[in-house]
A = this chain, B = another copy of it.
Amino acid sequence: MTSPRWLDDREREAWVRLGSLIQLLPAALDTQLRRDSDITHFEYWVLAMLSEAPERTLRMTALAERTSSTLSRLSHVVSRMEDRGLVERRPCPADRRATNATLTDGGWQKLVATAPGHVEAVREYVFDALTDDQVAQLTEITEALLQRVDPDGTRTGHVRRT
């Protein structure tokens, strides 16, 4: 079971914690949002990204990038959100292959009602636990990891540093 380049002790320590974190943090955020607002964490990002876009509208492809998801996943999710009246989908006049997703008034209100509690949860789980230095370190570290996980930036183009 010897591998060319095994993990050393320090790496193992970091890895086991990171493993737990990527397991537990999304689950914790999902739980809060489901309980308080009956939406998933992913749906929250969809609402948030649309709310910040001009006209509260984005092409599906652009929205997929901003939510770090695939187009397929997004399509399913937006369908459900459309059924619930949070989002509207209309064919793009400029490119008739494309579809524009727009936040409805109901979706906007949902976001407004949801955001404070969710931000509070993010603070509680993440930022209240970290010093200012650590927040800066976290930015650098996540930036470096994203460079590896998504080198082309096709799923994270909007957040990547120049």
Q: Could you list which residues of chain A lie within 8 angstroms of chain B, going by C-beta atoms?
A: 1, 3-7, 10-11, 13-26, 28, 45, 67-69, 111-112, 115-116, 119-120, 122-130, 132, 134-150, 155-156, 159
Contact = CB atoms under 8 A, between A and B. Distances in A.
Contacts of A7: 119, 122-123, 127
Highest count of chain B CB atoms <10 Å: which of A13, A19, A116, A130? A19
Tell me what chain A mostly uses at the interface: helix, strand, loop, or mixed. helix
Contacts of A143: 17
Contacts of A45: 19
A5 B120 contact: yes
A125 B148 contact: yes
